[in-house]
Structure 1
Amino acid sequence: MTLQHRIEDVTRRIEAACMRSNRRSEDVQVIAVTKYVSLEATGAAIRAGLTHIGENRWQDAAAKWDAFGSEATWHFIGSLQTRKVRDVVGKCAYIHSLDRLSLAQEIEKRASAQGQVVRCFIQVNVSGEATKQGLEPEQVKTFLEQLRTLPHVKPIGYMTMAPFEAEPEETRPVFQRLRQLRDELNATLPEPLHELSMGMSNDFDIAIEEGATWIRLGSILVGKEGIS
């Protein structure tokens, strides 16, 4: 299947999921995750109109950003080590894995020095898996209060990763819970956060039905070894 065919297929599935859940397809943004594809394949994705690009390791993303940095909006979607913040701030407009105060403080330090405001998703471990990173749901409200002292760190929503399931429907409770958490917190926050980064190649239809506003698509969209 060619890149254009994959884009068309994903677009149809987004529209169908939105129709089932009475949502507008334009309210769902696609991040093309290029961590498994080459520099050339990344360029082809951008030229095809996939201008939100997601990477999870800066050492792998650096060459792509050097080649195409101004042509796309870059999202850091992987676990971010504090010592790597210097590489990411100023290049990635969004960080999807904010999960601890020390990381937020380092982002604040680097962003302040550059006169930047970094939009961040708070990563929440909804599933409770030991292998997943992120805050426990009950920790999020306190964390948001701590972030108010960091003016260059702008939380815009929440991110979670569901377990990989052979039957995608089994991921629904994870996405439901993140949406519910967002709504519960919004009832108490002076500035509500609306964005939900959830859903990947295996389960994005379910995530959209449960309220995802950003979906992170790799293999189903840009492939793993290249783009035809």
Structure 2
Amino acid sequence: MSVTGNLAAVQARIQRACTISGRAPSTVRLVAVSKLHPAALVAEAAAAGQTVFGENYVQELVDKAAQLARPVEWHMIGHLQSNKVKYLPGIVSMIHTVDRLSLAQEIDRQWRDKQSAACDILVQVNVSGEATKSGTTATEAVELVRHIAKLPNVRVRGLMTMPPFFDDPEAARPYFRELRLLADRISSEQIPAVEMTELSMGMSGDFEVAIEEGATLVRVGTAIFGGR
């Protein structure tokens, strides 16, 4: 099936998951992840109506953004080194993977110097505690959000997580639920300038379950663009 056909199938799955969970489809945005796929496929997806794209690597994101004629929204969804932040202002509208204060401070500096608007970010939480995954801990997340909230050129809009890989998507449900409960806890703290409106969770194999648990951003690559 073509990228256009795959995209339609994924959108239909999102709609079904929203119906099951009693949510309006407009409350879930699809982030099409084109990692290691050519810009031509991104252009095909954009022509089919897809508006939000995610990339894992800074250089790949910058290169693809330069090749695309159609205006789209770019999200940085991969692990981000502080020395690469300088390439992102003016290109990305959201960074999903802020897991430490020093990274947030560098984003604040770069956006202060290069952009008039603040950068929307999500705090990445390692809810599974896996050593191989990035992210702050659930215990430390509240304090990290408090510190980031003091930065004038960064806006905390929510949380992001990557659960362990399971063959059965139901096994990921507790991790998605934990992120939602953590977001509720942070929201109840009423930290100035902090919103918990976005939950970035769920990928090709488990995004329906993530939607049922409150995801507002689902990061889908393989189901749209095929294997890498």
Shift of 1:89: 2.2
CA offsets 1:53-88 (integer angstroms, 9 cap, x no match): 100101222221111276100000000000000011
Partner of 2:132: 131
**1:198 aligned to 2:217?**
no
- What percentage of residue pairs aligned between the two structures are identical? 40
Aligned length: 225
RMSD over aligned CA atoms reads 1.3
Q: Does 1:212 align with 2:215?
A: yes
Letter in 2 for 1:145: R
User: What SS does the aligned partner of 2:92 have?
Assistant: coil
In the alignment, which residue of structure 2 is the partner of 1:184?
185
Q: Who is 1:2 aligned against?
A: 2
Q: Which residue of 1 aligns with 2:25?
A: 25
Between the aligned partners of 1:192 and 1:94, the Cα distance in structure 2 is 14
User: How high is the TM-score relative to the length of structure 1?
Assistant: 0.95
In the aligned structure 1, how far is the partner of 2:127 from the partner of 2:69? Answer: 33
SS in 2 for 1:97: strand
Instruction: String of CA shifts for 1:93-141, please: whole Å, max 9, x gaps.
Output: 1000001011011001000012231100000000111111101001111
Match of 1:89 in 2: 89
- Return the alpha-carbon distance in structure 1 between the equivalents of residues 70 and 153 of structure 2: 22
Could you tell me how far 1:192 is from its partner in structure 2? 3.9
Q: Residues 84 and 184 of structure 1: is their aligned pair in 2 closer, same or farther, counting only changes over 3 Å?
A: same
Q: Distance in 2 between matches of 1:9 and 1:152?
A: 38
Contact 2:156 2:195 in 1 (8 A): no
**Residue 144 of structure 1: CA displacement?**
1.4
Rounded Cα–Cα distance in structure 1 between residues aligned with 2:213 and 2:85: 31
Give the whole-Å Cα distance in 2 for the aligned partners of 1:65 and 1:179: 31
Distance change (3 Å), C-alpha of 1:211 and 1:103: same
- The code of the aligned residue for 1:18 comes to C
The offset of 1:165, in angstroms, is 0.6
Checking the alignment, whether the CA contact within 8 Å between 1:197 and 1:213 is kept in structure 2 is: yes
Gaps of 5+ in 1: none
User: Aligned partners of 2:6 and 2:224: how far apart in 1?
Assistant: 6
C-alpha separation in 1, matches of 2:202 and 2:35: 16
Range with greater deviation from structure 2 (38-47 or 195-204): 38-47
Q: Does residue 1:50 correspond to 2:50, yes or no? A: yes
* Relative contact order, higher structure (CA 8 A, sep 6+): 1
The answer as to whether partners of 1:36 and 1:223 remain within 8 angstroms in 2 is: no
Mapped contact 2:7–2:45 kept (Cα < 8 A): no
Q: 5+ residue gaps in structure 2? A: none
The runs of at least 4 consecutive aligned structure 1 residues that moved more than 6 Å come to: none
Instruction: Write the distance in 2 (CA, Å) between the matches of 1:63 and 1:98.
Output: 22
Residues 1:160 and 2:161 aligned together: yes
Contact 1:37 1:224 in 2 (8 A): no
Q: CA deviation at 1:222?
A: 2.2
